[in-house]
């Protein structure tokens, strides 16, 4: 268990949420680049909220944020600390509404942020039953972004968001890790919706088709094992695991950084 995961349950949730919001952009620079792909207004969906670093950032640009988080402790922390325009749905995002088994590491109440409906033998040792929802079933309007971080269940979440994707054509920010699940099915599904991928390995967005995601992740897989504090505070090579998907006729904007704030 990482240091942050050990300390999280012992600290006030507001302190943990504030620390996560400040530290996350250090190793997820996509969080600092929201103006590139998220216009102001509308609805943003944060699937896999954890302590809310993405929800807090999205709340500064979207009129409404809907955060889907199945771990009871984390959902409670989000309700206590998230901005007023963030609505927390305590459930796991899936292909349809129902119930499912949520897998967590042994001795971890969700603090590591690797709970999943897809069990990994070397990671998950405990479980609980949770309700499931689909993005389509949430009845949302004017969806401009869906961010998905569910540790292996991305394909099911996207299938459950198919009508929303076709209707609103939102930006999709999807965590894809080849050590967890092959990305091929997600790429095929989104290509069918007319979406193309983009990644941010350095200062500029590049097409996913021009970036060896699997090879890159294999080379720096050790970075992914580091905890929040270590990845945020110590020098290390960038580990790219977030892919931005946009409709084929759109690309990430490059706004004037002097005038646009996330």
Residue 260, pLDDT above cutoff 50: no
The string of DSSP codes covering 61-98 is T-SEEEEE---HHHHHHHHHHS-TTEEEE-SEE-SSSE
pLDDT of residue 227: 57
Check if the beta carbon of residue 88 is closer than 8 Å to that of residue 49.
yes
Say whether pLDDT at 223 is over 90.
no
What is the CA angle 210-227-93, rounded to 5?
A: 70
Whether 158 contacts 150, CB under 8 Å: no
Give the CA distances from residue 208 to residues 42, 176, 199, in Å, rounded to whole numbers and listed in that order: 27, 12, 6
At residue 1 the predicted structure's pLDDT band, cuts being 50, 70 and 90, is very low
Which is higher by pLDDT, 26 or 165? 165
Spatial separation of the C-alpha atoms in residues 197 and 229, rounded to whole Å: 29
CB 227 within 8 A of CB 5: yes
Predicted TM-score (pTM) of the model is 0.88
Q: What is the DSSP letter of 59?
A: T
Element of type H or E holding 15: helix 13-27
Please say if the pLDDT value at position 108 is more than 70. yes
Spatial CA neighbour of 115 closest among 180, 183, 187, 24: 180
Q: What is the pLDDT of residue 256?
A: 45
Under the banding of pLDDT at 50, 70 and 90, the label for residue 257 is very low
Please check the confidence at residue 226 and state whether its pLDDT lies above 80: no
Q: Please state the rounded mean pLDDT for residues 236-249.
A: 90
Question: By three-state DSSP, how is residue 99 classified?
Answer: strand
The mean pLDDT value for 15-19 works out to 80
Contacts 24+ apart (CB under 8 A), 234-238: 238/27, 238/29, 238/201, 238/202
- The DSSP annotation for 182-236 comes to -SHHHHHHHHHTTEEEEE-SSSS-EEGGGS-HHHHHHHTHHHHTS-HHHHHHS--
Q: Evaluate if residue 137 carries a pLDDT over 80.
A: yes
Kind of pairing between the strands at 126-133 and 43-47 = unpaired
C-alpha span between 145 and 34 (Å, rounded): 10
Residue 153's nearest CA partner among 187, 185, 118 is 118
Q: What is the CATH number of domain 3-247?
A: 3.40.50.150
CB-based contact 64:87 (threshold 8 Å): yes
């Amino acid at each position: 268990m990482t240091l942050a995961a050990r300390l999280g349950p012992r600290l006030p949730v507001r302190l943990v949420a504030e620390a996560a919001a400040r530290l996350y952009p250090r190793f997820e620079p996509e969080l600092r680049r929201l103006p590139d792909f998220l216009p102001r207004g509308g609805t943003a969906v944060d699937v896999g909220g954890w302590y809310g670093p993405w929800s807090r950032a999205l709340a500064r640009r979207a009129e409404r944020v809907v955060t889907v988080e199945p771990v009871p402790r984390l959902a409670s922390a989000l309700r206590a600390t998230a901005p007023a325009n963030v609505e927390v749905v305590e459930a796991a995002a899936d292909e349809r509404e129902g119930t499912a088994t949520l897998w967590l590491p042994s001795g971890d109440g969700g603090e590591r942020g690797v709970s999943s409906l897809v069990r990994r033998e070397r990671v998950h040792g405990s479980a609980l039953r949770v309700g499931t929802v689909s993005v389509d079933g949430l009845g949302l309007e004017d969806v401009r972004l869906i961010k998905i971080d569910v540790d292996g269940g991305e394909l099911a979440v996207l299938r459950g968001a198919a009508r929303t994707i076709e209707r609103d054509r939102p930006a999709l920010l999807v965590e894809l890790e080849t050590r967890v699940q092959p990305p091929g099915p997600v790429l095929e599904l989104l290509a069918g919706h007319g979406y193309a991928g983009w990644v941010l390995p350095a200062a500029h967005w590049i097409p996913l088709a021009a970036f060896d995601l699997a090879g890159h992740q294999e080379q720096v897989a050790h970075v992914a094992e580091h905890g929040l504090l270590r990845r945020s505070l110590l020098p290390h090579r960038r580990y790219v695991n977030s892919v931005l998907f946009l409709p084929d006729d759109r690309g990430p904007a490059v706004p004037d950084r002097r005038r646009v704030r996330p």
